[in-house]
Amino acid sequence: MCFAKMHMSYIRRILHGTFVVNNGKIMLKPEIEQCLLGITSNMKLCTFVIKIGIVEHVMSRICRMYGSDSIKYCASHYRDPKFIDSILVILHDASHFDFSTMSYQVRNSMANCVREYKITNVYELHDSSFYSELLSMYYDFVRAKSNQSVQFQELCDFIKLSSTVQLAQMYHMILKTKCSTGNEQDNLQELLLQERGIGHLIYSSVFFGKYACRVRNAFRHLYSPDDKNPIHTISGLNVPYCVIRISSRKIIPKVESCIKANKMDFSVFVDDIVHFVKDTLYRPGEEVRVRKDISTYCTIVSNRYSTMGADIASSSLH
């Protein structure tokens, strides 16, 4: 069993289970839309979160964690999803083999799409209202009754995971902006001496904010060959250590059990992660703290900056 193929097979299942392509356009399946409307009324945002989540995972698979920032986090794609839709059509049309292996044909088609739409390293930042709406929608799904089909519950968990990563980008921008101003040097030095995270200084929601950033970073560097991300073998399945690190203590016996029963799937990891996030968001006062962080983002990021560049220079998709 190959972890990467299992990962991409899961993403392909989400894509094909949620969308259809009609006349070259990607569209929500009517039955899926009806089910989602039973949970949230914000269908524009919900659809976007699913779409961008799929793209996020594909980008992690082809190790374009930095150059793809302008694809994954650009606010213009929310207003005008033509580029994201074009990427999804390419992925939807790909065979199971090409998708699961992220073949040269798929990567080449995506690279041509990036060139066609003239995607650059600079991306437009979301305003605070985007994150406020996102948090409200997130809680719609967190509080929803879990009496749906297995397939639809899998989509709901994917939406929660994608929402976590998008909110983590807000926290990342708060940290990036705050640390670049030079106004917090004394406090930062103190934190370093205490071996504490800088997030303790800036975030109101230390639990959700810190964990969300860990999830973002894990998927961002999921396939990065690094001493900090060694392979952890579980019953013959080679798993990147970064995904083990963000999972609960139950994940290893759970994976062992699923492999033994021949039922192992990437959704096992997703389910574990979103359950932890759900418990975090249910902490008393956590929603208030996250909304306070959204206000902080408005003050120190979106009120001062409209665009941002990638953390480091990007490379092509080839």
Band of residue 72 on the pLDDT scale cut at 50, 70, 90: confident
What is the value of pTM for the model shown? 0.90
**Residue 181 has what DSSP assignment?**
S
Is the C-alpha dihedral spanning 49, 52, 58, 61 positive or negative? Answer: negative
Nearest one of 125, 51, 56, 40 to 85, comparing CA atoms = 51
Band of residue 258 on the pLDDT scale cut at 50, 70, 90: very high
Nearest one of 9, 13, 3 to 98, comparing CA atoms = 9
User: How far is the C-alpha of 134 from the C-alpha of 190, rounded, in Å?
Assistant: 34
Q: What is the pLDDT of residue 314?
A: 40
**Cβ contact 43:30 at 8 Å:** no
Q: What is the pLDDT of residue 201?
A: 56
**What angle is formed at CA 166 by the lines to CA 312 and CA 268, rounded to 5 degrees?**
105
Q: What is the pLDDT of residue 190?
A: 52
Nearest one of 199, 174, 165 to 55, comparing CA atoms = 165
Angle between helices 128-143 and 43-61 (to 10 degrees): 90
**Mean pLDDT, residues 103-132 taken together:** 91
User: How far apart, in Å, are the Cα atoms of 146 and each of 11, 143, 156, 263, 286?
Assistant: 21, 9, 9, 21, 22
* Share above pLDDT 70 across residues of the chain, in percent, rounded to a whole number: 88
**Mean pLDDT, residues 132-146 taken together:** 94
